[in-house]
Amino acid sequence: MNESLLRELVPAVLGVLVRRGADFAAAEDAVQEAVIRALQSWPADPPRDPKAWLVTTAWHKFLDAARSETSRHGRELAVEFEPPTGPVPDTDDSLWLYFLCAHPALSPGSAVALTLRAVGGLTTRQIATAYLVPEATMAQRISRAKRQLSGQPLDRPGDPATVLRVLYLVFNEGYGGDVDLAAEAIRLTRQLATATDDPEVAGLLALMLLHHARRASRTGPGGRLVPLAEQDRTRWDTDLIAEGVTILQTALARDRLGEYQTQAAIAALHADAPTAAETDWVQIVEWYDELLHLTGSPVVRLNRAVAVGEADGPQAGLAALSSVDPGLPRYTAVRAHLLERAGDLEVAADLYAEAAHAATSTPERDHLTREAARIRQLLRS
Amino acid sequence: MAKYLLLKHYRGAPASVNDVTMDQWTPAELAAHVQYMEDFAARLEGTGEYVDSQALSPQGTFVRSDGAGRPPVTDGPFAETKDLIAGWMVIDVETYERALEVAAELSEAPGAGGKPVREWLELRPFLTATPTVTE
Protein backbone atom coordinates (compact mmCIF):
# COMPACT_ATOMS: atom_id res chain seq x y z
CA MET A 1 0.00 0.00 0.00
CA ASN A 2 1.18 3.48 -0.82
CA GLU A 3 1.42 5.09 2.59
CA SER A 4 2.98 8.31 1.31
CA LEU A 5 0.04 8.84 -1.06
CA LEU A 6 -2.23 8.45 1.94
CA ARG A 7 -0.27 11.09 3.82
CA GLU A 8 -0.37 13.49 0.90
CA LEU A 9 -4.15 13.23 0.73
CA VAL A 10 -4.73 14.09 4.38
CA PRO A 11 -4.62 17.91 4.17
CA ALA A 12 -6.93 17.96 1.16
CA VAL A 13 -9.46 15.68 2.85
CA LEU A 14 -9.33 17.71 6.02
CA GLY A 15 -9.90 20.84 3.97
CA VAL A 16 -13.00 19.34 2.36
CA LEU A 17 -14.52 18.47 5.74
CA VAL A 18 -13.87 21.91 7.17
CA ARG A 19 -15.32 23.58 4.09
CA ARG A 20 -18.44 21.47 4.48
CA GLY A 21 -18.90 23.00 7.90
CA ALA A 22 -17.15 20.64 10.30
CA ASP A 23 -15.13 22.38 12.98
CA PHE A 24 -11.39 21.83 12.76
CA ALA A 25 -10.92 19.65 15.85
CA ALA A 26 -13.79 17.28 14.98
CA ALA A 27 -12.74 17.13 11.33
CA GLU A 28 -9.18 16.32 12.31
CA ASP A 29 -10.32 13.47 14.56
CA ALA A 30 -12.50 12.10 11.80
CA VAL A 31 -9.69 12.22 9.25
CA GLN A 32 -7.37 10.40 11.66
CA GLU A 33 -9.92 7.65 12.10
CA ALA A 34 -10.34 7.39 8.34
CA VAL A 35 -6.56 7.14 7.93
CA ILE A 36 -6.40 4.32 10.46
CA ARG A 37 -9.24 2.56 8.66
CA ALA A 38 -7.39 3.02 5.37
CA LEU A 39 -4.20 1.55 6.79
CA GLN A 40 -6.19 -1.52 7.84
CA SER A 41 -8.36 -2.05 4.79
CA TRP A 42 -6.50 -0.71 1.74
CA PRO A 43 -3.91 -3.49 1.52
CA ALA A 44 -6.65 -6.09 1.03
CA ASP A 45 -9.14 -3.87 -0.74
CA PRO A 46 -7.61 -0.88 -2.51
CA PRO A 47 -10.08 1.87 -3.37
CA ARG A 48 -10.54 3.06 -6.97
CA ASP A 49 -10.38 6.71 -5.93
CA PRO A 50 -8.36 6.99 -2.70
CA LYS A 51 -9.22 10.62 -2.10
CA ALA A 52 -12.98 10.12 -2.54
CA TRP A 53 -12.75 7.04 -0.28
CA LEU A 54 -11.04 9.06 2.41
CA VAL A 55 -13.49 11.97 2.13
CA THR A 56 -16.47 9.63 2.37
CA THR A 57 -15.07 7.62 5.27
CA ALA A 58 -13.94 10.70 7.18
CA TRP A 59 -17.28 12.38 6.61
CA HIS A 60 -19.10 9.33 7.95
CA LYS A 61 -16.84 9.27 10.98
CA PHE A 62 -17.52 12.95 11.50
CA LEU A 63 -21.26 12.41 11.22
CA ASP A 64 -21.13 9.47 13.62
CA ALA A 65 -19.42 11.67 16.16
CA ALA A 66 -21.74 14.58 15.53
CA ARG A 67 -24.75 12.26 15.80
CA SER A 68 -23.70 10.75 19.06
CA GLU A 69 -23.13 14.20 20.47
CA THR A 70 -26.43 15.56 19.32
CA SER A 71 -28.44 12.40 19.83
CA ARG A 72 -30.37 14.00 22.59
CA HIS A 73 -31.66 16.54 20.11
CA GLY A 74 -32.59 13.89 17.64
CA ARG A 75 -30.89 12.37 14.69
CA GLU A 76 -32.65 14.57 12.19
CA LEU A 77 -30.36 17.42 13.02
CA ALA A 78 -27.32 15.43 12.01
CA VAL A 79 -28.88 14.48 8.71
CA GLU A 80 -28.92 18.13 7.80
CA PHE A 81 -25.17 18.00 7.79
CA GLU A 82 -25.31 15.66 4.79
CA PRO A 83 -23.48 17.27 1.92
CA PRO A 84 -24.87 17.40 -1.57
CA THR A 85 -23.59 14.35 -3.40
CA GLY A 86 -21.29 14.85 -6.33
CA PRO A 87 -17.60 15.05 -7.17
CA VAL A 88 -15.20 16.26 -4.51
CA PRO A 89 -13.96 19.77 -5.36
CA ASP A 90 -10.23 19.69 -6.04
CA THR A 91 -9.04 22.85 -4.33
CA ASP A 92 -5.74 22.52 -2.52
CA ASP A 93 -6.27 23.40 1.10
CA SER A 94 -2.83 22.41 2.28
CA LEU A 95 -1.60 25.98 2.35
CA TRP A 96 -4.49 27.09 4.51
CA LEU A 97 -3.82 24.19 6.86
CA TYR A 98 -0.17 25.13 7.18
CA PHE A 99 -1.18 28.54 8.44
CA LEU A 100 -3.78 27.08 10.75
CA CYS A 101 -1.28 24.72 12.35
CA ALA A 102 1.17 27.59 12.87
CA HIS A 103 -1.46 29.63 14.65
CA PRO A 104 0.03 32.10 17.13
CA ALA A 105 -2.23 30.69 19.89
CA LEU A 106 -0.18 27.47 19.85
CA SER A 107 3.18 26.85 21.51
CA PRO A 108 5.92 25.79 19.08
CA GLY A 109 5.76 22.22 20.36
CA SER A 110 2.01 21.97 19.83
CA ALA A 111 2.28 23.60 16.43
CA VAL A 112 4.82 20.99 15.36
CA ALA A 113 2.69 18.06 16.57
CA LEU A 114 -0.44 19.41 14.92
CA THR A 115 1.36 20.14 11.65
CA LEU A 116 2.71 16.61 11.54
CA ARG A 117 -0.77 15.19 11.98
CA ALA A 118 -2.96 17.59 10.03
CA VAL A 119 -0.61 18.49 7.18
CA GLY A 120 1.84 15.61 7.32
CA GLY A 121 -0.81 12.94 7.76
CA LEU A 122 1.25 11.04 10.31
CA THR A 123 -0.65 9.00 12.86
CA THR A 124 -0.46 9.89 16.53
CA ARG A 125 1.53 6.72 17.12
CA GLN A 126 4.14 7.71 14.52
CA ILE A 127 4.51 11.18 16.01
CA ALA A 128 4.75 9.71 19.50
CA THR A 129 7.56 7.30 18.51
CA ALA A 130 9.39 10.11 16.75
CA TYR A 131 9.33 12.04 20.02
CA LEU A 132 9.93 8.99 22.22
CA VAL A 133 6.83 9.56 24.33
CA PRO A 134 3.88 7.22 24.96
CA GLU A 135 1.10 7.42 22.39
CA ALA A 136 -1.43 8.55 25.02
CA THR A 137 0.80 11.46 25.96
CA MET A 138 1.06 12.63 22.38
CA ALA A 139 -2.68 12.16 21.84
CA GLN A 140 -3.30 14.46 24.81
CA ARG A 141 -0.87 17.05 23.50
CA ILE A 142 -2.58 17.09 20.14
CA SER A 143 -6.07 17.39 21.54
CA ARG A 144 -4.89 20.19 23.82
CA ALA A 145 -3.53 21.98 20.76
CA LYS A 146 -6.84 21.55 18.98
CA ARG A 147 -8.75 22.83 22.01
CA GLN A 148 -6.57 25.93 21.98
CA LEU A 149 -7.57 26.52 18.39
CA SER A 150 -11.29 26.24 19.03
CA GLY A 151 -12.91 29.63 19.09
CA GLN A 152 -9.96 31.18 17.28
CA PRO A 153 -10.81 32.82 13.96
CA LEU A 154 -9.44 30.37 11.42
CA ASP A 155 -10.10 32.24 8.23
CA ARG A 156 -7.36 34.81 8.32
CA PRO A 157 -3.93 33.73 7.17
CA GLY A 158 -1.26 33.53 9.84
CA ASP A 159 2.29 34.78 9.64
CA PRO A 160 4.26 32.92 6.93
CA ALA A 161 7.39 33.29 9.07
CA THR A 162 5.69 31.15 11.76
CA VAL A 163 4.89 28.44 9.23
CA LEU A 164 8.51 28.35 8.13
CA ARG A 165 9.71 28.25 11.73
CA VAL A 166 7.43 25.30 12.48
CA LEU A 167 8.72 23.42 9.44
CA TYR A 168 12.31 24.14 10.46
CA LEU A 169 11.52 22.84 13.97
CA VAL A 170 10.17 19.63 12.45
CA PHE A 171 13.36 19.32 10.40
CA ASN A 172 15.59 19.81 13.41
CA GLU A 173 13.78 17.20 15.47
CA GLY A 174 15.72 14.72 13.37
CA TYR A 175 14.42 11.21 13.52
CA GLY A 176 13.37 8.44 15.84
CA GLY A 177 10.97 5.57 15.39
CA ASP A 178 9.90 4.73 11.85
CA VAL A 179 9.38 8.28 10.65
CA ASP A 180 12.29 10.45 9.63
CA LEU A 181 11.12 13.92 10.61
CA ALA A 182 13.87 15.62 8.61
CA ALA A 183 12.69 13.90 5.44
CA GLU A 184 9.10 14.64 6.38
CA ALA A 185 9.90 18.35 6.85
CA ILE A 186 11.54 18.41 3.43
CA ARG A 187 8.46 16.82 1.86
CA LEU A 188 6.16 19.36 3.49
CA THR A 189 8.39 22.31 2.59
CA ARG A 190 8.51 21.10 -1.03
CA GLN A 191 4.73 20.97 -1.02
CA LEU A 192 4.57 24.50 0.39
CA ALA A 193 7.13 25.75 -2.13
CA THR A 194 4.94 24.61 -5.04
CA ALA A 195 1.95 26.42 -3.55
CA THR A 196 3.55 29.81 -2.81
CA ASP A 197 5.99 32.13 -4.52
CA ASP A 198 7.77 33.32 -1.36
CA PRO A 199 11.55 33.13 -1.94
CA GLU A 200 11.98 32.44 1.78
CA VAL A 201 10.11 29.13 1.38
CA ALA A 202 12.59 28.24 -1.35
CA GLY A 203 15.38 29.43 0.93
CA LEU A 204 14.22 27.14 3.74
CA LEU A 205 13.89 24.20 1.33
CA ALA A 206 17.43 24.84 0.05
CA LEU A 207 18.72 25.07 3.62
CA MET A 208 17.11 21.76 4.57
CA LEU A 209 18.44 19.99 1.47
CA LEU A 210 21.97 21.28 2.07
CA HIS A 211 21.92 20.17 5.73
CA HIS A 212 20.33 16.85 4.86
CA ALA A 213 22.97 16.18 2.21
CA ARG A 214 25.65 16.17 4.90
CA ARG A 215 23.76 14.13 7.45
CA ALA A 216 25.50 10.78 6.95
CA SER A 217 28.90 12.32 7.69
CA ARG A 218 27.81 14.20 10.78
CA THR A 219 27.87 11.27 13.19
CA GLY A 220 30.44 8.56 13.65
CA PRO A 221 30.21 5.12 15.29
CA GLY A 222 27.98 5.07 18.36
CA GLY A 223 26.32 8.39 17.53
CA ARG A 224 29.58 10.25 18.02
CA LEU A 225 29.45 13.85 16.80
CA VAL A 226 31.85 14.63 13.95
CA PRO A 227 32.61 18.37 13.54
CA LEU A 228 32.38 19.91 10.07
CA ALA A 229 36.13 20.18 9.57
CA GLU A 230 36.61 16.44 10.21
CA GLN A 231 33.67 15.17 8.16
CA ASP A 232 34.29 12.72 5.32
CA ARG A 233 33.17 14.89 2.41
CA THR A 234 32.93 11.93 0.04
CA ARG A 235 29.85 10.89 2.02
CA TRP A 236 28.00 14.11 1.23
CA ASP A 237 25.06 13.65 -1.12
CA THR A 238 26.11 15.70 -4.15
CA ASP A 239 22.71 15.40 -5.88
CA LEU A 240 20.98 16.99 -2.90
CA ILE A 241 23.64 19.70 -2.69
CA ALA A 242 23.23 20.51 -6.39
CA GLU A 243 19.46 20.67 -5.99
CA GLY A 244 19.73 22.89 -2.92
CA VAL A 245 22.14 25.25 -4.64
CA THR A 246 19.91 25.56 -7.73
CA ILE A 247 16.83 26.30 -5.63
CA LEU A 248 18.80 28.85 -3.61
CA GLN A 249 20.16 30.62 -6.70
CA THR A 250 16.69 30.97 -8.18
CA ALA A 251 15.43 32.38 -4.87
CA LEU A 252 18.35 34.81 -4.48
CA ALA A 253 17.82 36.07 -8.03
CA ARG A 254 14.47 37.44 -6.96
CA ASP A 255 16.22 39.91 -4.69
CA ARG A 256 14.02 39.51 -1.64
CA LEU A 257 16.58 38.32 0.84
CA GLY A 258 15.49 36.76 4.11
CA GLU A 259 17.07 34.78 6.93
CA TYR A 260 16.53 31.31 5.44
CA GLN A 261 18.05 32.26 2.09
CA THR A 262 21.00 33.74 3.97
CA GLN A 263 21.47 30.64 6.13
CA ALA A 264 21.21 28.49 3.00
CA ALA A 265 23.90 30.63 1.34
CA ILE A 266 26.21 29.89 4.28
CA ALA A 267 25.39 26.18 4.12
CA ALA A 268 26.02 26.24 0.35
CA LEU A 269 29.48 27.75 0.84
CA HIS A 270 30.34 24.94 3.25
CA ALA A 271 28.93 22.31 0.91
CA ASP A 272 30.89 23.80 -1.95
CA ALA A 273 34.33 23.50 -0.36
CA PRO A 274 36.27 20.40 -1.52
CA THR A 275 38.20 20.41 1.79
CA ALA A 276 37.62 22.21 5.10
CA ALA A 277 40.77 24.28 4.46
CA GLU A 278 39.36 25.56 1.17
CA THR A 279 36.18 26.94 2.76
CA ASP A 280 35.52 30.51 1.65
CA TRP A 281 35.34 31.94 5.17
CA VAL A 282 35.58 35.54 3.98
CA GLN A 283 32.35 35.21 2.04
CA ILE A 284 30.76 33.30 4.94
CA VAL A 285 31.53 36.23 7.25
CA GLU A 286 29.80 38.57 4.76
CA TRP A 287 26.70 36.38 4.83
CA TYR A 288 26.80 36.34 8.63
CA ASP A 289 26.90 40.15 8.61
CA GLU A 290 23.81 40.06 6.41
CA LEU A 291 22.12 37.53 8.69
CA LEU A 292 22.93 39.58 11.77
CA HIS A 293 21.44 42.63 10.07
CA LEU A 294 18.27 40.63 9.27
CA THR A 295 17.77 38.93 12.61
CA GLY A 296 19.86 40.70 15.25
CA SER A 297 20.02 37.27 16.88
CA PRO A 298 22.65 36.69 19.60
CA VAL A 299 23.18 33.13 18.32
CA VAL A 300 24.04 34.53 14.89
CA ARG A 301 26.50 36.89 16.56
CA LEU A 302 28.15 33.87 18.22
CA ASN A 303 28.37 31.89 14.96
CA ARG A 304 29.72 34.95 13.22
CA ALA A 305 32.58 35.10 15.74
CA VAL A 306 33.52 31.52 14.75
CA ALA A 307 33.53 32.51 11.07
CA VAL A 308 35.59 35.62 11.78
CA GLY A 309 38.07 33.44 13.66
CA GLU A 310 38.47 31.26 10.57
CA ALA A 311 38.64 34.15 8.12
CA ASP A 312 40.89 36.58 10.00
CA GLY A 313 42.57 34.47 12.67
CA PRO A 314 41.78 33.59 16.29
CA GLN A 315 42.54 37.03 17.72
CA ALA A 316 39.97 38.65 15.41
CA GLY A 317 37.54 35.89 16.39
CA LEU A 318 38.08 36.59 20.09
CA ALA A 319 37.55 40.30 19.43
CA ALA A 320 34.26 39.51 17.68
CA LEU A 321 33.32 37.24 20.58
CA SER A 322 33.75 40.07 23.09
CA SER A 323 30.44 41.59 21.92
CA VAL A 324 28.57 38.28 22.45
CA ASP A 325 26.54 37.47 25.57
CA PRO A 326 28.60 34.95 27.59
CA GLY A 327 25.39 33.36 28.86
CA LEU A 328 24.60 31.82 25.46
CA PRO A 329 24.75 28.05 25.05
CA ARG A 330 27.94 27.12 23.17
CA TYR A 331 29.65 30.41 24.09
CA THR A 332 32.20 28.62 26.27
CA ALA A 333 32.86 26.00 23.59
CA VAL A 334 33.47 28.70 20.97
CA ARG A 335 35.81 30.57 23.29
CA ALA A 336 37.70 27.33 24.01
CA HIS A 337 38.07 26.68 20.28
CA LEU A 338 39.38 30.19 19.55
CA LEU A 339 41.79 30.13 22.52
CA GLU A 340 43.13 26.75 21.41
CA ARG A 341 43.88 28.17 17.98
CA ALA A 342 45.48 31.19 19.61
CA GLY A 343 47.81 28.80 21.48
CA ASP A 344 46.38 29.14 24.99
CA LEU A 345 46.00 25.39 25.49
CA GLU A 346 45.69 25.29 29.28
CA VAL A 347 42.72 27.65 29.40
CA ALA A 348 41.17 26.06 26.31
CA ALA A 349 41.18 22.62 27.97
CA ASP A 350 39.54 23.99 31.11
CA LEU A 351 36.89 25.76 29.05
CA TYR A 352 36.12 22.65 26.99
CA ALA A 353 35.61 20.72 30.23
CA GLU A 354 33.37 23.50 31.54
CA ALA A 355 31.40 23.56 28.26
CA ALA A 356 30.96 19.77 28.47
CA HIS A 357 29.40 20.26 31.89
CA ALA A 358 26.81 22.66 30.47
CA ALA A 359 26.09 20.65 27.29
CA THR A 360 22.44 19.82 26.58
CA SER A 361 22.89 16.57 24.66
CA THR A 362 24.95 13.44 25.26
CA PRO A 363 26.76 13.55 21.87
CA GLU A 364 27.63 17.22 22.45
CA ARG A 365 28.83 16.52 25.99
CA ASP A 366 30.96 13.58 24.86
CA HIS A 367 32.39 15.62 22.00
CA LEU A 368 33.43 18.47 24.29
CA THR A 369 34.90 16.07 26.87
CA ARG A 370 36.95 14.49 24.06
CA GLU A 371 38.16 17.96 23.00
CA ALA A 372 39.34 18.66 26.56
CA ALA A 373 40.98 15.23 26.71
CA ARG A 374 42.70 15.79 23.35
CA ILE A 375 44.28 19.07 24.48
CA ARG A 376 45.36 17.69 27.85
CA GLN A 377 47.07 14.84 26.03
CA LEU A 378 48.90 17.41 23.86
CA LEU A 379 49.99 19.26 26.99
CA ARG A 380 51.32 16.07 28.58
CA SER A 381 53.37 15.00 25.56
CA MET B 1 11.47 -10.35 37.66
CA ALA B 2 12.15 -7.24 39.62
CA LYS B 3 13.14 -3.80 38.46
CA TYR B 4 16.13 -1.95 39.86
CA LEU B 5 17.40 1.55 39.31
CA LEU B 6 21.14 1.97 38.93
CA LEU B 7 22.18 5.51 39.78
CA LYS B 8 25.41 7.00 38.57
CA HIS B 9 26.56 9.96 40.65
CA TYR B 10 28.50 13.03 39.59
CA ARG B 11 29.23 13.45 43.27
CA GLY B 12 27.81 12.25 46.53
CA ALA B 13 28.93 8.66 46.10
CA PRO B 14 32.23 7.44 47.61
CA ALA B 15 35.19 8.10 45.28
CA SER B 16 35.90 5.57 42.53
CA VAL B 17 38.91 3.32 42.80
CA ASN B 18 40.31 4.87 39.59
CA ASP B 19 39.24 8.41 40.40
CA VAL B 20 40.25 10.70 37.51
CA THR B 21 37.75 13.17 35.97
CA MET B 22 36.85 12.38 32.37
CA ASP B 23 38.43 15.47 30.83
CA GLN B 24 41.78 14.18 32.10
CA TRP B 25 41.48 10.93 30.13
CA THR B 26 42.89 10.46 26.65
CA PRO B 27 40.48 10.42 23.68
CA ALA B 28 41.21 6.70 23.23
CA GLU B 29 40.29 6.01 26.86
CA LEU B 30 37.04 7.93 26.42
CA ALA B 31 36.21 5.97 23.28
CA ALA B 32 36.87 2.68 25.09
CA HIS B 33 34.65 3.76 27.97
CA VAL B 34 31.71 4.72 25.72
CA GLN B 35 32.12 1.49 23.75
CA TYR B 36 32.04 -0.56 26.97
CA MET B 37 28.80 1.11 28.08
CA GLU B 38 27.17 0.52 24.70
CA ASP B 39 28.22 -3.12 24.61
CA PHE B 40 27.00 -3.52 28.17
CA ALA B 41 23.53 -2.12 27.34
CA ALA B 42 23.36 -4.27 24.20
CA ARG B 43 24.25 -7.38 26.22
CA LEU B 44 21.49 -6.63 28.73
CA GLU B 45 19.04 -6.13 25.90
CA GLY B 46 20.10 -9.52 24.62
CA THR B 47 19.30 -11.18 27.95
CA GLY B 48 16.02 -9.25 28.23
CA GLU B 49 17.22 -7.43 31.33
CA TYR B 50 17.52 -3.91 29.91
CA VAL B 51 14.69 -1.41 30.46
CA ASP B 52 16.00 2.10 29.85
CA SER B 53 18.89 4.41 30.56
CA GLN B 54 19.43 8.14 30.36
CA ALA B 55 22.22 10.60 31.00
CA LEU B 56 21.30 13.71 32.98
CA SER B 57 22.64 17.22 32.86
CA PRO B 58 24.57 18.27 35.98
CA GLN B 59 22.55 21.48 36.04
CA GLY B 60 19.50 21.07 38.26
CA THR B 61 16.96 23.27 39.98
CA PHE B 62 15.02 22.83 43.20
CA VAL B 63 11.40 23.90 43.11
CA ARG B 64 8.67 23.81 45.71
CA SER B 65 5.13 25.10 46.03
CA ASP B 66 4.76 28.38 47.81
CA GLY B 67 0.99 28.69 47.61
CA ALA B 68 -0.52 30.76 44.81
CA GLY B 69 1.68 32.43 42.23
CA ARG B 70 5.00 31.47 40.81
CA PRO B 71 6.73 28.63 42.66
CA PRO B 72 10.06 29.56 44.25
CA VAL B 73 13.11 28.12 42.56
CA THR B 74 16.63 27.72 43.82
CA ASP B 75 19.79 26.68 42.01
CA GLY B 76 20.59 23.05 41.90
CA PRO B 77 21.39 20.80 44.85
CA PHE B 78 21.70 22.67 48.11
CA ALA B 79 25.28 23.22 49.19
CA GLU B 80 24.94 20.94 52.19
CA THR B 81 23.59 18.02 50.15
CA LYS B 82 26.41 16.93 47.93
CA ASP B 83 24.41 14.43 45.93
CA LEU B 84 24.20 14.91 42.15
CA ILE B 85 22.92 12.34 39.68
CA ALA B 86 24.76 11.87 36.38
CA GLY B 87 22.39 9.35 34.87
CA TRP B 88 20.50 6.18 35.47
CA MET B 89 19.79 2.77 34.07
CA VAL B 90 16.77 0.62 34.82
CA ILE B 91 17.20 -3.13 34.69
CA ASP B 92 14.68 -5.91 35.10
CA VAL B 93 16.33 -8.98 36.58
CA GLU B 94 15.45 -12.31 38.21
CA THR B 95 17.12 -11.77 41.57
CA TYR B 96 18.81 -9.23 43.79
CA GLU B 97 22.06 -11.17 43.32
CA ARG B 98 21.79 -10.70 39.57
CA ALA B 99 21.21 -6.96 40.06
CA LEU B 100 24.40 -6.76 42.10
CA GLU B 101 26.24 -8.64 39.38
CA VAL B 102 24.96 -6.27 36.67
CA ALA B 103 25.84 -3.18 38.70
CA ALA B 104 29.33 -4.51 39.35
CA GLU B 105 29.81 -5.13 35.67
CA LEU B 106 28.76 -1.56 34.81
CA SER B 107 31.14 -0.25 37.44
CA GLU B 108 33.99 -2.10 35.70
CA ALA B 109 33.88 0.24 32.65
CA PRO B 110 37.41 1.19 31.64
CA GLY B 111 38.68 4.69 32.52
CA ALA B 112 41.99 6.51 32.82
CA GLY B 113 44.97 4.38 31.91
CA GLY B 114 42.62 1.74 30.49
CA LYS B 115 42.01 0.53 34.05
CA PRO B 116 38.44 -0.02 35.34
CA VAL B 117 36.82 3.07 36.90
CA ARG B 118 35.27 0.96 39.66
CA GLU B 119 32.85 3.70 40.57
CA TRP B 120 30.20 3.19 43.23
CA LEU B 121 26.74 2.81 41.71
CA GLU B 122 23.65 3.15 43.80
CA LEU B 123 21.25 0.25 43.41
CA ARG B 124 17.60 0.91 44.30
CA PRO B 125 14.79 -1.60 43.97
CA PHE B 126 11.50 -0.35 42.50
CA LEU B 127 8.56 -0.49 44.86
CA THR B 128 5.68 -2.40 43.38
CA ALA B 129 1.92 -2.34 43.80
CA THR B 130 0.54 -4.34 46.72
CA PRO B 131 0.31 -7.98 45.67
CA THR B 132 -3.16 -9.49 45.61
CA VAL B 133 -3.91 -11.06 48.96
CA THR B 134 -6.17 -14.08 49.06
CA GLU B 135 -7.98 -14.40 52.37
Domains of chain B are: 2-59+78-125 (3.30.70.1060)
Q: Do A35 and A58 fall into the same domain?
A: yes
Residue B63 contacts A, CB cutoff 8 Å = no
Q: Do A189 and A101 fall into the same domain?
A: yes
- Classify the complex by whether its ipTM is higher than 0.95, answering yes or no: no
Which of A219-223, A253-257, B68-72 has the highest mean predicted lDDT (pLDDT)?
A253-257
Q: Do A37 and A124 fall into the same domain?
A: no
Give the closest-approach CA distance of A134 to chain B in angstroms: 14
B113 conformational bin, left if phi > 0, alpha if psi -120 to 50, beta if neither: left
Give the closest-approach CA distance of B134 to chain A in angstroms: 33
The answer to which of A153-167, A218-232, A285-299, A350-364 has the lowest mean pLDDT is A153-167
Q: What is the secondary structure of B16-59 as a DSSP string? A: PSS---GGGS-HHHHHHHHHHHHHHHHHHHHHT-EEEEEE--S-
Question: Does residue A327 form part of some domain?
Answer: no
What is the spatial distance between Cα B33 and Cα A15, in angstroms, rounded to a whole number? Answer: 53
Question: Does residue A97 form part of some domain?
Answer: yes
pLDDT at B40: 95
Confidence grade of residue B133 (pLDDT, cut at 50, 70, 90): low
Q: Do A57 and A99 fall into the same domain?
A: no
What pLDDT, in 10s, does the model give residues A172-205?
A: 886 556 678 899 899 989 988 988 889 999 999 9
Sorted by sequence, the CB contacts under 8 Å of residue A159 that are 6+ apart come out as A102, A104
What residues form DSSP beta bridges with B34?
Answer: none
Q: Do A31 and A70 fall into the same domain?
A: yes
Question: Does residue A184 form part of some domain?
Answer: yes
What is the spatial distance between Cα A51 and Cα A88, in angstroms, rounded to a whole number? Answer: 9
Q: Into how many domains does chain A fold? A: 3
Inspect the interface and report whether the beta carbons of A356 and B24 lie closer than 8 Å. no
pLDDT at A72: 56
Q: Do A103 and A158 fall into the same domain?
A: yes
Question: Does residue A294 form part of some domain?
Answer: no
Q: Do A183 and A107 fall into the same domain?
A: yes
pLDDT at A335 over 70: yes
Question: Does residue A363 form part of some domain?
Answer: no
Domain with A36 in it: 3-80
Closest CA to A90 of A15, A163, A145: A15
Give the closest-approach CA distance of A329 to chain B in angstroms: 13
Q: Do A45 and A114 fall into the same domain?
A: no
Closest CA to A185 of A196, A200, A201: A201
Q: Are A345 and B13 in contact (CB under 8 A)?
A: no
Q: Are A14 and A93 in contact (CB under 8 A)?
A: yes
What residues form DSSP beta bridges with B87?
Answer: B8, B55
Question: Does residue A176 form part of some domain?
Answer: yes
Chain A contacts in chain B segment 33-62 (CB below 8 A): 34-35, 38, 55, 57-59
Question: Does residue A229 form part of some domain?
Answer: no
Q: Do A38 and A69 fall into the same domain?
A: yes
Inspect the interface and report whether the beta carbons of A369 and B38 lie closer than 8 Å. no
Closest CA to A95 of A4, A206, A204, A196: A196
Closest CA to A373 of A358, A355, A354, A352: A352
B75 burial level (CB within 10 Å; 0-12, 13-18, 19+): exposed
Chain B residue at shortest CA distance from A366? B30
What pLDDT, in 10s, does the model give residues A311-325?
A: 999 999 999 999 999
What is the spatial distance between Cα A315 and Cα A313, in angstroms, rounded to a whole number? Answer: 6
Question: Does residue A108 form part of some domain?
Answer: yes
Q: Do A43 and A111 fall into the same domain?
A: no
pLDDT at A289 over 90: yes
What pLDDT, in 10s, does the model give residues A67-116?
A: 877 665 655 555 555 554 544 545 556 677 787 788 878 888 888 888 88
What pLDDT, in 10s, does the model give residues A132-171?
A: 788 999 999 898 888 888 777 665 556 788 889 889 988 9
What pLDDT, in 10s, does the model give residues A12-52?
A: 898 888 888 888 888 888 999 999 899 889 989 888 999 99
Q: Do A159 and A183 fall into the same domain?
A: yes
Q: Do A189 and A245 fall into the same domain?
A: no
